[in-house]
Copies of this chain bind each other. A is one copy, B any other.
Amino acid sequence: MATDSSLFSGSMTMLILKLLEQKDMYGYEMIDTLTQRSNNAFEMKAGTLYPLLHSLVQKKCLEVYQDDASGKMRKYYHLTAVGQKILKEKTQTWHEYSKAVVRIIGGECYGN
C-alpha cells in the first residue's frame, strides 16, 4: 500500500475476499483491480498478497485452481462459504469501527 499503510493494516484480507465475492481472480489481477478501484490509494505488494492467499486457502476461505491455457501459469482463487462468512463479519466490524473513528475525529460519516 502507499504511504502510511499502517492506518489500514488488517483490512487487506477483507478487501481480497470482497474482490473474490464478485468473481474468481488470480493474484496479479487482484493487485491491479485494487489499485484501480482505490484510485491508487491501495498498492498491495506481491510479497504481501501471495502469502495472504496461501493462508486463506489453508483456512478454507478460498479454493484454488490452475489455468495454463494462455501459456502463463495463473492460479485462480474462488471464495468458499467459509470465506463469505468471514467477509461478512469483517465488513460489519469495519463499519462499526469506522463509525467509532468518525465519532472521535469528526468529519464524514458512514451509513449503515
Q: Number of copies of this chain in the oligomer? A: 2
Which size bracket describes the interface of A in this complex? 35 or more
User: Which B residue's beta carbon lies closest to that of A6?
Assistant: B10
Residue of B whose beta carbon sits closest to that of A42: B100
Partner-B contacts on A (CB < 8 A): 3-11, 14-15, 18-19, 34, 37-39, 41-42, 90-91, 93-105, 107-112
Most buried by B among A8, A18, A19: A8
CA distance A76 to B18 in the complex (A): 43
Q: Given contacts A11-B101, A101-B94, are A109 and B111 in contact (CB under 8 A)? A: yes
Chain B residues near A15: list those with CB within 8 A: 101, 104-105
